[in-house]
Amino acid sequence: MSGHEERVWCLVAGGGTAGHLHPGLAVAKALVDAGQDPAAIHFVGSERGIERTLVPEAGFGLTLLPGRGIQRRLTTENVGAVIGLIRAMLQSVRIVRRRRPAVVLSLGGYASVPCAVAALIWRVPVVVAEQNAVPGAANRLVSRWARACAVSFAGTELPKAELTGNPVRDEVLAVDRSDSAARDAARRRLGVGEGRRLILAF
């Protein structure tokens, strides 16, 4: 666990992959730009997730939960995963009690569920941030008691869904799409010939 056990305004829970984490970082940055103290925003993630490096680099506090997700098929590895989930749940209950956030933002991914359950126990409002057209298992579960679900696509099947769009980081918005020289250099570096269609998927 990193950082002091001080009260925070927002706990941002979840991650594991960049697809889950980057929208959370974009929201945190927007809150700071609106005047919120960075120390009042604290992330809770997984020991195995990409947040281990990206969150501290962004200047926010981070607590890492033990364990990993439970596989959907029967396997002996799930025994250890259940034990890890119980430990993560107990740690999350302590985190929410000590940090006393005004809101928990659930990004999806392994760490979001224990924190959202802890928020339910301590009666802290939960907001789900769903980046995908088809919600993941974690956010589908958490949405059952969430105050609202911020979604990126119209028709996303979550209760109390609000179409907000997907938060995008400043460095992505700052890319100059009209810079043909930069585009040509990127194509050469990637080995994509002129006139070939280039699709970025991540």
For the chain, percent of residues with pLDDT exceeding 90: 62
Residue 103 DSSP label = E
Closest CA to 15 of 1, 26, 4: 26
Tell me the whole-structure pTM to 2 decimals.
0.82
Query: For residue range 45-63, what is the model confidence (pLDDT) as tens digits?
Result: 999 889 999 999 999 999 9
CATH number of the structural domain 10-169: 3.40.50.2000
Ranges of each domain in the chain: 10-169
Query: For residue range 169-186, what is the model confidence (pLDDT) as tens digits?
Result: 777 777 667 777 877 888
The helix (H) or strand (E) run that includes residue 11 is strand 10-14
Query: For residue range 93-124, what is the model confidence (pLDDT) as tens digits?
Result: 999 999 999 999 999 998 999 999 999 999 99
How far is residue 94's CA from residue 154's CA, in Å, rounded to a whole number?
Answer: 36
Residue 183 DSSP label = H
